[in-house]
Amino acid sequence: MYNREHCYSVILAGGIGSRFWPISREKLPKQFLDFTSAGHSFLRFTYDRMKALVPEENILVVSLNRYRDLVKQQLPELRDGNLLLEEYNRNTAPAITYATYKILKRDPDAVMISTPADHVINHHDIFNETIHKALAYAEESGSLTTIGIVPTRPDPNFGYIQAIGDQDSGKPLKVKTFTEKPDEELAKVFMESGEFLWNSGIFLWKASVIREELEKHAPDITRLWTGWEDALDTDREADFVMNIYRSDCPRISIDYAVMEKTDKAWVFPAKFKWADIGNWESLYEYLAQHDSFGNASDIDGKSLLREGRDNIIYSDGKGKLIAIRGLEDYIVIDTDDVLLICPRDEKKLKEFLSELAMPEYADYR
């Protein structure tokens, strides 16, 4: 059994959340928002989950410099030294590299949990039990362990892990393949095979082991950190890290950088209720109230919805009447300065939102 005092949690909270535009903006991305009307942001919920698993002083948050004040506002108890700030978003592999070296500087025997900040997790007793088992296995075996969610439907919005063995065994399974967001037909094949799990993006490993695997499989990242032992946890840290992110630091996920290359990847099948809130479709499935026609709405005010089906409707109009008739499979998002109306098609929405990069829309990003 692992020693709790040597257990650390790394919360990854640096994303922009562009697929949730116009609710999620560059100035206030989704991890800092309360989509559940529960009075807490995704980040706050994640931090509180981690407190049940590791000592609070061992919780680190990785985010962007521009979000420093937001993190401190929502997590006032977080120690300054536990807030790791990146100059630019370079995806999860550089963020995890930073956190790994930071933790190793403090505790060479550390075991880490790496988790995104934007998950919704229920069945906390099952979640905690699963994490405890996975932590113990990661420490004992020296494996890179991830949590795989037993799928309930063929969802093309999630990544998939193919594992060797019985998903109901209660034991870790050897990872065979990773697949990023397959199309709907392939997702059905995965579901029917019984060999695939949803990739939760939650990882557990010894800090020393992930360091070795990063240095083996992602040397273009780790070579930039030469001298970290002398720089981290000193007054030189901010400048040291800034120079790394202003250099040729790759933008790559930990999945691509390490997990798809290592021979140490294992997965723990899990059955707690989980949602990766990555886009409007995932919010539709897990958070919104659905009427008898499949419309999912979160409206601050009155609504008049007629002859419409399977729409996603969100408004922060503060009492504004939302009246819609005859729409089917649409997204309607109403904010103070933006009204978005678009078909509920992930590809079309992505193409549409890509135009926000144009200079004339800078004030709305």
Which CATH number covers residue 116?
3.90.550.10
pLDDT, mean over the chain: 92
What are the pLDDT digits (tens) for 55-92?
999 999 999 999 999 999 999 999 999 999 999 999 99
| Structural domain for 135, as ranges | 4-280
Q: Are residues 121 and 252 in the same domain?
A: yes
Pull the structure tokens for residue 271.
């059955």
Q: Are residues 86 and 230 in the same domain?
A: yes
Distance (Å, whole) CA 285 – CA 156: 13
Identify the residue whose tokens are 């401190």: 72
Mean pLDDT throughout 318-330?
Answer: 88
- pLDDT value at position 305? 87
- pLDDT value at position 141? 96
Provide the number of structural domains found in the chain.
2
Distance (Å, whole) CA 91 – CA 80: 22
Distance (Å, whole) CA 107 – CA 103: 6
Q: Are residues 163 and 303 in the same domain?
A: no
Q: Are residues 333 and 229 in the same domain?
A: no
Q: Are residues 232 and 143 in the same domain?
A: yes
Q: Among residues 116, 37, 43, 46, which one has the least CA distance to residue 288?
A: 37
Distances, alpha carbon 121 to alpha carbons 40, 244, 311, 347, 360, in Å: 14, 34, 24, 27, 38
- pLDDT value at position 181? 87
Q: Are residues 168 and 307 in the same domain?
A: no
Q: Are residues 275 and 292 in the same domain?
A: no
Q: Are residues 186 and 329 in the same domain?
A: no
Distance (Å, whole) CA 291 – CA 268: 36
Question: Is the pTM higher than 0.75?
Answer: yes
Mean pLDDT throughout 194-220?
Answer: 97
Task: Give yes or no for residue 37 having a pLDDT over 80.
Answer: no
Q: Is 181 exposed, middle or buried (0-12, 13-18, 19+ CB in 10 A)?
A: middle
- Per cent of the chain over pLDDT 70 is 96
In the chain the first and final C-alpha atoms are separated, in Å, by: 47
Beta strands in 165-246 (DSSP E): 173-179, 196-206
